[in-house]
Amino acid sequence: MISFRSYSHEPYVSEDAVKVRDFLIRINATELQAPRLLWGAWDWAVNHALRDQEHVHRIGMWEDDGRLVALATYELNLGEAILVVEKGYDALKPELVAYAVERLHSHGDLRLLLPDEDECLQLAALETGFRPTRQIERFAKVHVSRISKESLPHVFSYVSLADEWDWRQYNQVMWRGFDHDGNAPDDAATIAGRKKMLSSPAILPELIVAIASPEGKYVAHCGVWYRPGDRYSYVEPVVTDPTYRGKGFGKSVVYEAIIRSGKLGAEQAIVASDQMFYYSIGFVPFRTMTQWQLHN
């Protein structure tokens, strides 16, 4: 019997967060039903420093005798909804769209991110007053067997969260890698926020990789999320300090992290991006989603 309930008020990694993760693992086990919300993307968002933790109770959950079968959620902030429905439960899709309109908007503004191949969700969105926009999200993949380890200049080295990880260097490369000027703020609260973002109990520390200079400066970073037994790994995030771009460090750190996941069983790596950087290092496009805007 299908029942609805709201996500709990508890922020970060809660029982409901784990239940959603398990749901995403299950529905993506044999084929990628929800490439925009793989379990790694969910875990990354759950602990993200920019996530709206105050309104997590607005996330909607539909259960069949206690088993989660559908989810209406936002990633970081209200105003953009992602709807995930297990195969066999298409009848729930209009209800999820209506719920998103009621509970996931931001001051009346709402965008849905819908898979381009899901005609059932598209029809439900059309009938509720949504229209597609020209904003497209594209996904790319690479087969692990098609990449090989990159050699680093002998004075540079790979480090990982499983090693002696330097949180201030991680904070700095993330700050610089996302094109902020100057040095990153390194107060205790900022560093604690960075630690929180990598605190998921499902993280494999050896897959959180950086390239360090001889002075210990992190010049590039790639995080890969993988669960042994899955066919795919998920790449998030990838950054390179602007001073070191164009020197192959970005490619090297991505390859290193993916190869490590391959040794644990991953056959493919997935990234939610259409940046030419990924295409230039062997990723190929394979899925698209479109933002739909609510027109009142």
Mean pLDDT by 10 residues, the chain (296 residues): 97 97 92 91 95 98 97 97 97 98 96 96 97 97 95 93 97 97 94 95 97 97 95 96 96 98 97 97 97 89
Dihedral sign of CA atoms 208, 171, 44, 138 in order: negative
Instruction: Indicate whether 220 and 88 sit together in one domain.
Output: no
- So what's the pLDDT on residue 154? 84
Instruction: Indicate whether 155 and 115 sit together in one domain.
Output: no
Asked if the structure places residue 135 within a domain, the reply is no
DSSP summary character for residue 248: T
Q: Angle between the 167-177 and 188-197 helix axes, to the nearest 10 degrees? A: 80
Residue 195 is inside which H or E element, if any?
helix 188-197
- So what's the pLDDT on residue 296? 67
270 φ/ψ sector (left φ>0, alpha ψ -120 to 50, else beta): beta
Boundary residue ending a domain (81, 104, 128): 128
Task: Give the domain CATH number at 76.
Answer: 3.40.630.30
Q: How many CA atoms lie within 13 A of 56 on its CB side?
A: 23
What range does the domain containing 237 cover? 143-285
Q: Which two tokens stand for residue 154?
A: 């002998």
Instruction: Indicate whether 225 and 251 sit together in one domain.
Output: yes
Instruction: Indicate whether 153 and 91 sit together in one domain.
Output: no
Asked if the structure places residue 136 within a domain, the reply is no
Provide the domain count of the chain: 2
Instruction: Indicate whether 148 and 27 sit together in one domain.
Output: no
Backbone angles phi, psi at 277, to 5 degrees: -55, -45
Boundary residue ending a domain (88, 104, 128): 128
End-to-end distance of the chain based on CA atoms, in angstroms?
34
Query: Rounded to whole angstroms, what are the CA distances from 156 to 147, 171, 219?
Result: 20, 19, 9
